[in-house]
Amino acid sequence: MELVQDTTRPSLVDMKGIPMIKYFAEGTRLLQDFQAWPDDLLVSTYPKSGTTWVSEILDIIYQDGDLQKCRRAPIYMRVPFLEFTSPGVPSGREALENTAAPRLLKTHLPLALLPQSLLDQKVKVIYIARNAKDVAVSYYNFYLMAKVHPDPGTWDSFLENFMKGTVSYGSWYQHVQEWWELRRTHPVLYLFYEDLKENPKREIRKILEFVGRSLPEKTIDSIIQHTTFKEMKKNPMANYTTVPPDFMDHNVSAFMRKGTTGDWKNTFTVAQNERFDAHYADKMAGCNFIFRSEI
Ligand code: A3P
């Protein structure tokens, strides 16, 4: 196990203009010689957009609906997080060593930092996007509980940083748009958290078609049942309670926090919402797809 010795809450570091968690910047550098395989499948998201949820769904699909097999290891071992390193937790590279083809991989990297091999090998990508307001609130709570991040400061200052793109992994606005554009040249299934919440069966069918698999109706129903927020929250192989508390403190905020759409209304003030909307309209001008911040 690679141990990266450092105190908690290190400052973000710049990589090609993208602010990165110090440990993950090291992990990204380690990926320089990463070799993708053509039958890999990459789950890509901006943080807090439903990565774990879709990863769990995909692992069940890859295990032909066998829920017992999905209890074999925590989600970060079943779906290696490429750029991940953190003290006391196996790195993404280590998790990869134990992963046989066909592999499921996870990343939050923007395209500027993505290992080129994933593009060269035309690795299929499932991208999950979530509305910016719920992401910002979820991210703030995640910063509070996951001590690989710098101290987020107040919610108000965090929201400003989110809008400026100075949080870990940079700009949400750029991330969701550049991966959308990638669809023109690369096999990308672009999904929305809100759609999955609204109609999981429809979205799981899209996933099955994209990965070229089919499963009986009753297996699809059991996937839906197993991956509800309530079920995943109590599943130690999905809820990140297996990581050391020095890394994630679930007493501050659970990783499986609320799992809803529209929770931002409990955190944004009216003034913050107005300012956010004006800034959003500017940043997303010309974007030809729509996010729903309530369903
Ligand atoms: P909240 O903080 O709003 O609750 P990621 O896996 O990309 O880090 O995203 C984490 C967010 O997805 C958290 O959002 C988490 O609760 C939510 N989530 C995880 N599993 C979910 C599920 N099965 N259904 C709905 N939301 C889920």
The candidate with the shortest Cα–Cα distance to 292, out of 55, 108, 125, 129, is 129
Would you kindly state where each structural domain of the chain is located, as residue ranges? Answer: 13-283
CA distance 164 to 11: 17
Strands 13-15 and 18-20: antiparallel
Reading the block at residue 76, the tokens are 């970060």
DSSP letter assigned to residue 235: -
Question: Which residue carries 């509980």 as its tokens?
Answer: 145
Model confidence band, residue 279 (pLDDT cutoffs 50, 70, 90): very high
Note the pLDDT of residue 87.
82
Question: Mutate which of 48, 59, 141 to test ligand 1's pocket (most atoms within 8 Å of Cβ)?
Answer: 48
Residue 4 binned pLDDT confidence (cut-offs 50, 70, 90): very low
108 is a catalytic site residue:
yes
- State phi, psi for 63 to the nearest 5 degrees: -95, 20
Q: Please give the backbone phi and psi of residue 61, each rounded to the nearest 5 degrees, phi first.
A: -60, -45
Tens digit of pLDDT for each residue in 175-217?
999 999 999 999 999 999 999 999 999 999 999 999 999 999 9
Average pLDDT of 231-247? Answer: 96
Mean per-residue pLDDT, 286-295: 95
Mean pLDDT taken over the chain: 96
Q: Residue 66 to residues 102, 211, 234: CA-CA distances in angstroms?
A: 16, 17, 18
Q: Are 112 and 14 in contact (CB under 8 A)?
A: no
Asked if 170 contacts 161 with a C-beta cutoff of 8 angstroms, the reply is no
Q: Whose CA is nearest to atom 8 of ligand 1?
A: 48
Residue 8's pLDDT band, with cuts at 50, 70 and 90, is confident
Distance from residue 73's CA to the centre of ligand 1 (Å):
19
16-49: burial string, b at 16+ Cβ within 10 Å, e else = eebbbbbbbbbbbebbeebebeeebbbbbbbbbb
C-alpha to C-alpha distance for 236 and 246, rounded to whole angstroms: 17
Q: How crowded is the C-beta side of 109, counted as CA atoms within 13 Å?
A: 26
Cα 158 to Cα 172: distance, rounded to the nearest angstrom: 13
> Which amino acid residue places its CA nearest to atom 25 of ligand 1?
259
Report the atom number in ligand 1 closest to the C-alpha of 45.
7
Q: Which residues contact 50 (CB under 8 A, 6 or more apart)?
A: 128, 130, 193, 196
User: Which fold, 13-283?
Assistant: Rossmann fold (3.40.50)
Determine the Cα–Cα distance for residues 197 and 199; give it in Å rounded to an integer: 6
Instruction: Evaluate if pTM is beyond 0.95.
Output: yes
pLDDT at 199: 98
Dist. CA 257 → ligand 1 center (Å): 7
Distance of CA 57 to the CA centre of its chain: 13
Model confidence band, residue 1 (pLDDT cutoffs 50, 70, 90): very low
Q: What is the pLDDT of residue 6?
A: 52
What 3-state DSSP class applies to 167? coil
User: What share of the chain has pLDDT > 70, as a percent?
Assistant: 98
List C-alpha distances in Å: 153 to 149, 160, 167, 255, 281: 11, 11, 12, 19, 26
